[in-house]
Amino acid sequence: MSGEGDAPQAIRKLQPGRLVIASHNPGKVREIAALLEGRGLDVVSAAELDLPEPEETGTTFVMNAELKARAAADLSGLPALADDSGLCVEALGGDPGIFSARWAGEGKDFAEAMRRVEAKLGEIEDAPRDAHFVCALALAWPDGHVEWFEGRVDGTLVWPPRGDKGFGYDAMFLPDGAAETFGEMEEDAKHAISHRADAFRQMVAAVF
């Protein structure tokens, strides 16, 4: 989906070469790099290039992903791919949502963030535990062109958290139809069904 104007435009193809992953989150960078394997791309993270982390001022996942991708492409002179993702809990009105990382605080303590989610649910009598993850991907070029894609996976929240794989809220999220949380799943199993994998499937079909 093009980020330029309202008129329909052909999706721009991503050529082999260097690509910036506009993230300072090592877990996210590893997961994105694995999903891009075999595409002829030389992947480098924003952290490796010492690019600053822009303030996420958008009001949607797509807006924040686009903001990060544009900033990295502009500063590096390379195509840049950004992900904005988060956990949306129905009983909490969609929170933490776009503030998922902020719930972990400056120290990015997601164990604390998960405890906070559980505590908020505990304040609601008979709160349903339905939740979903959303992932928005924005692919930006230095000339300002942007393509974006959005994926989702539905599930329920478990407590206590289970598993030490993955990152973020993975250990408390049980995808619908699965016996293991994202925190318990091997990487390949998670990549088959995750919100990020859903968005990547759309992107790969469009830009490669």
Question: Cα separation of 79 and 41, whole Å?
Answer: 11
Query: Residues 42, 74, 83, 84: which is the catalytic one?
Result: 84
SS3 category, 177: coil
Q: 37 phi and psi, to 5 degrees? A: -55, 140
Q: Is 42 a catalytic residue?
A: no
- Residues 46, 105: Cα–Cα separation, whole Å: 21
Is residue 131 within 8 A of residue 89, CB to CB? The reply is: yes
| Count of helices and strands (H, E) across the chain | 5, 6
Which residues are the active-site residues? 84
